[in-house]
Amino acid sequence: MIRIEHEQRTVRRMIEIYCQHKHGNRGREGTDTLCGECQELLDYAMLRLSHCKYGEDKPACVNCPIHCYKPDKRREIAQVMRHSGPWMLFYSPIMTVRHLCRR
């Protein structure tokens, strides 16, 4: 699987975990059970990732010299990642290890 697809899967999973914990949406991985706010953030993140100018050489967003997210969306995704990051070890341990190795 290519780099951008890995990033998209990871962001999707983090938003699903966040939505489940913060908004009470209960669904299994990969299902369309996000609330409107989280679905909007996911759609925005997928769009930004699909248009990343670095492509397969994409650095982790935190290390990227270009911030392609609008400031409000950047704050939202940072909040999601802060919350979901530790939970990823429990929900998706293999995905977490792969993500940490690619950073």
> Taking the chain (103 residues) in consecutive chunks of 10 residues, what is each chunk's mean pLDDT?
84 94 73 85 95 83 83 95 93 83 68
Q: Are 23 and 89 in contact (CB under 8 A)?
A: no
State residue 14's pLDDT score. Answer: 94
User: How many Å apart are CA 3 and CA 61, to the nearest integer?
Assistant: 12
State residue 54's pLDDT score. Answer: 86
Closest CA relative to residue 16, chosen from 8, 25, 7: 25
CA angle 67, 58, 90 (to 5 degrees): 90
User: How many Å apart are CA 7 and CA 27, to the nearest integer?
Assistant: 21
pTM of the full structure: 0.85
* C-alpha Rg value of the chain to the nearest Å: 13
